[in-house]
Amino acid sequence: MAAKKKIINIRVYFDGDQDAKEVFAEVIAQKIRDTKAKDKLAIMKDRQYNDYEFSNLKSA
C-alpha cells in the first residue's frame, strides 16, 4: 500500500524555551492526532447512518 503524502500548513510562535525542532515536532504530532480523530469521527457517523438506514428496510 502506498503511503499518502500529506501537506500540513502550520503557523507557530514560540518564546525560545524550546528549540524549534522540538516545537515543530510537537505541532506536527498534534496535527496528525487531530486529523486521525476527525477521520475516526467521520467513520463512526457513517456507520451510525448505515445502521439506522438499513435497520429500517423491510424484508421482501
pLDDT digits (tens, 9 = 90+) for 2-43: 677 777 776 767 676 777 778 778 888 888 887 777 777 777
CA distance 17 to 39: 33
| Whether residue 1 has pLDDT greater than 60 | no
Cα separation of 18 and 23, whole Å?
Answer: 7
* pTM for the model: 0.39
Q: Residue 58: pLDDT band by 50, 70, 90 thresholds?
A: low
What is the number of residues in the chain? 60
